[in-house]
Amino acid sequence: MKYLIPVDASKVALLPIDHLEAAMRRGAKVEVIVLNVQPRFHRHVARFTRRADRDALREERSQSAMTGAIERLSRAGIPFVATTEVGSPAERIAAVAKAECVEEILMGVGRHPQWLRWLSPSIAQGVVARTDIPVAVMARGKASPFERYVVPVGVAGLAALLIAAD
C-alpha cells in the first residue's frame, strides 16, 4: 500500500510510523511519502526579503521537521520519498495525496481541549473535508492541565472583568 504521512517537528507526527513498522513485520508491502508543508510568508515579510532566502529558510525548517521520520523509516527498511510543499497544510496534503494516488493518509496528532480546537481548527479535519482518500488519525497524550483549566478560567475571569467594567 502507498501511504502519505504529513509530518511537522512534533513527536506525535511520528505515530503512523509505528503502524507502518507493524505492517512491515506482518509482511505487507509498504511505500511511504513523507510530506512537510511550510506556510507562505506574509506579503509584508516577502516584500522585504529575497526569494532565495525565504526558500532556504523553508528548506531548513522542512529538513528539521522530517529528520525524525526519515531516520525511523530508514532504520525500519521502509521505502520512502520525502517531499516539501508550500501553502495551506490541509490543502497541500489533500492535493499531494491525490496527485500521488496514495491509498491512505496517516496523521499523528496531539490531543487538545475543545475550546482550543475551536480557536485553531484541526489540520486533520481540514484534510478529511478536502479528500475522498481514507484518513487515519492517530492521537496520543492528553491536554495539559494548563490548556484544560488555567486558560479557560483566565478567559472567563477577563470576561467577568469586562462585564463588570460596563
Low-confidence ranges of the chain (pLDDT < 50): 147, 151
- Mind listing the domains of the chain with CATH numbers? 2-165 (3.40.50.620)
So what's the pLDDT on residue 109? 83
Q: Of 118, 150, 125, give the one whose Cα is nearest residue 139.
A: 125
Closest CA to 35 of 76, 95, 75, 78: 95
Q: Using CB atoms within 10 A of its CB, is residue 32 exposed (0-12), middle (13-18) or buried (19+)?
A: buried
Residue 128: predicted pLDDT: 87
Q: What pLDDT shows up at residue 113?
A: 60
pLDDT in tens, 114-158: 555 556 667 888 888 899 999 988 877 655 565 455 545 555 555
pLDDT at res. 144: 55
pLDDT reported for residue 141: 60
pLDDT at 66: 92
Contact 8, 95 (CB under 8 A): no
